Each structure stands twice: as structure tokens, then as C-alpha cells.
Amino acid sequence: MLRHDKKAFIKFFSIYFGSVALLILISGHFYYLEQKKEFLKDENFEMLDYARMFKTKTPKQNTDITHKIKKMDFSNFNIGNFEIKKDYFVKYIPHNWKDEYMIIKKPKKLFDEKIFNLKSKIIISQILLLGIFASISYFLSKMALRPMHEAVVRLDNFSKDLIHDINTPITSILLNMKLLKKDKNFASNKYLDRISQNVKDIHSLNSNLTILLKENSLNMQNVDIFKVINDTIELYKKEYPKIRFEILEVEYFANVNEDAFRQIISNLISNASKYSSRDKEAFVKIYMNKDILYIEDNGIGIKNPSSVFLRDYKEHESGHGIGLDITKRLCDAMNIKIDVVSKENEGSCFKITFN
């Protein structure tokens, strides 16, 4: 099951099963209260019956109810009186016209056993019902999400085929652009330079999308982080010779997908290089502190750092608004945290935290 399938399944299952479970638990609670009320009524009636039979001189046999006669003063006597003590019930019944009352007591032992048995039955019934409805919720969730899953798989396969087919002409165009630049007639052609830059952007976008299609099935392995960084930097040194790249290298291995991590580093260094400062010597610094990798530049900065990882957000016409969104998604897929601190006209610092 793909990552987005899991999220959708968990949400659907949680809503459906959670609603049913809540209904079962509430129903069980109200059933318990009603049954407890009935049990108390039975206890009250049994004590009244005891008093009636005592007055008719035919006391009940084999009962644990006891009584005593005591003179008491009740200003507002209520025949429905019924007190629940810790270990017994108490009821007061008028005995004669001389303010004498029967104080009837009954132990709570049998009542407590009934309550315990009632609770046990309700809990067992609820567990069985929850298990049944959990199974029903599971199968309903699978059935409800099947059409969406099939549609996503078809779209995913189409995207893979499309990106794969686009890669061939892009590679061919890049190769021919290099050959044209070797020709003296085209060496300083500004239109050719624009075409070349646009083709590079398309190639970068294609690379991002190629890796993104694997976000749900990334194979993780122990990777030498700075080897990947050095390999990537070498490519950008040729493209941006005026930028000073500084790497404070340490030995650090992390459990990542190498291709996905390479694309993350490529995206971040590409942005740092593309939006470098024109008024001062530009630099890109890469260094490590504990489990945090820093990629710092002194470029033009970011206006809204909190929005930079949002899809389609861009601050410059030359951007696509998708590179950093893909970077964030790849980091999430590998359980890596990424943050950015930035100030306009001073630069940006991206922080990648490894677990």
C-alpha cells in the first residue's frame, strides 16, 4: 500500500470505526445506568416487602435483611427514602403512631456481585462488537479506496512512461546544444543561451519528477553524505565558476536513499547558486553540526521562508515553484526534517536534520 493510500485508508477507517465505536460505548454506558437503576429498584422493593411481611407477622425466610425499631423524629418523612451506604442499604419505615420507625438494613454484597457481572457482560459484548465492526470497517475502507487506488496507479504509470519518454529528447537537445556552442558561429548567441538555460530547467524538473515518483518506495541504505555533496558540488562549480563553494567536510553516514538525497542536495545548491548575490562575492557553505547539515549562502534571500516549501509558491519568474516542494516531500519520505532561515538581501540557511 502506497503512502497516500495508507493515509486515506487510516482516515476513512478512523472516521467510520471511530463513529461506530463511540456509539457502542455510549450505548453500553446508558444500558449499564438503566440496569443499575433497575437493580436499585429491586433492592428497594425487597426491603419494602420485608417490612410489609414483618408487620403481617409473616417474615420472609432465608433473608439477610435485618431491622431494628427506634424512636426518631422526621419532620419531612418520605416513604421513598432509600440510602446507599458503603456496605449496605438503609430504609426507614413508620412502625406506629408513636414516632417509632423500622430501620431496615440489607448488605450490598449480592448487589455488588450483580453490578460486577453486569459490567463484565457489557465489556465482553462491547469488545466483541468492536472486533466485528473493526473487521467490517477494514473491508469497507479497502473497498471504498480501491477505485481511487486503481486511478492513482494508472496515473502513476502514465507519469512514469511520460517522464521516461521526455528524458530521451531532453538528453538529445542538451547534447546538440553543447555541439552548437562549440561552433564559432553560435558561441556567443544570446538566443541559444536562453534556449540552453530553458532546456537545463526542463532537465532539472524532469529529474525532480523522476525521483518524486519513487517517494513511496525508496530503498534506504547507509550513505556517505559528503561523498554525495562533493559529487554534486563538482557539477555546479563548472556551471557557476564565480561562486565560492566551501565544504567543511566530516565523516558522516546516514540511512537515506542515495538518489533522493542527491536530488535534495542538487535542488538546494541549485537554488543557492541561481539566486546568489550580484553585488558581493557569492559563496555557498556546507557544514555539519552533530546530526544537522547546513547549506548556507549569502544570496538575495527569501521573502516568505514559511511558504517556500508550498507547492507552486515562487518568488521569481524564473522558478517553477515545485523544486522545494519536491525537496520537502523527499525529506518527509525519508523521515528527514528540513527547515530554512532566511533574510532578504542577506542570504538563506537550509537545515537538514537526520534521525
336 assigned to some structural domain: yes
User: How many CB atoms within 10 Å of residue 226?
Assistant: 19
Same domain, 236 and 337: yes
Q: Which domain holds residue 273?
A: 214-353
Distance CA 55, CA 94 (A): 11
103 touches 68 (CB < 8 A): yes
117 and 14 part of one domain: yes
Pair 126, 240 in one domain: no
Assess if residue 82 is contained within a domain. Answer: yes
Count of domains in the chain?
A: 2
Name the domain boundary from 96, 121, 140: 140
Q: Which neighbouring-strand residues pair with 295?
A: 286, 350
Of 22, 95, 87, 23, which is closest to residue 52 (Cα–Cα)?
Answer: 95
pLDDT (tens digit per residue) in 70-104: 888 877 888 888 999 989 999 998 887 677 888 99
Kindly give the confidence (pLDDT) of every residue in the chain, 355 residues in length, as a single tens digit, with 9 standing for 90 and above.
566 677 788 888 899 899 999 999 999 999 999 999 999 999 999 998 888 888 887 766 667 888 898 888 877 888 888 999 989 999 998 887 677 888 999 999 999 999 999 999 999 999 999 999 999 988 888 888 777 777 767 766 666 666 667 777 777 877 877 777 777 776 677 777 777 767 776 777 777 677 766 666 678 889 999 999 999 999 888 888 889 999 998 899 999 988 889 889 988 998 888 888 777 888 999 999 989 999 999 988 888 888 888 877 777 666 566 788 888 988 988 899 999 999 888 899 999 999 8
- Burial (CB < 10 A; 0-12, 13-18, 19+), residue 271, is buried
Whether residue 237 sits in one domain with residue 117: no
The reply to whether 219 and 349 lie within a common domain is yes
CA atoms within 13 A on the CB side of 106: 24
Residue 330 lies in a domain: yes
Residues 43, 130: one domain?
yes
Q: Is residue 62 part of a domain?
A: yes
222 and 135, same domain (yes or no)? no
DSSP E strand boundaries for the chain: 66-71, 83-84, 88-94, 100-107, 221-224, 244-247, 253-256, 283-289, 292-297, 337-343, 347-353
In the chain, % of residues over pLDDT 70: 88
Give the SS3 label for residue 245: strand
Residue ending a domain, among 109, 140, 171, is 140
- Same domain for 221 and 132: no
180-202, pLDDT tens digit by residue? 777 777 667 777 777 776 777 67
Kind plus residue range of the DSSP H or E element containing 37: helix 3-55
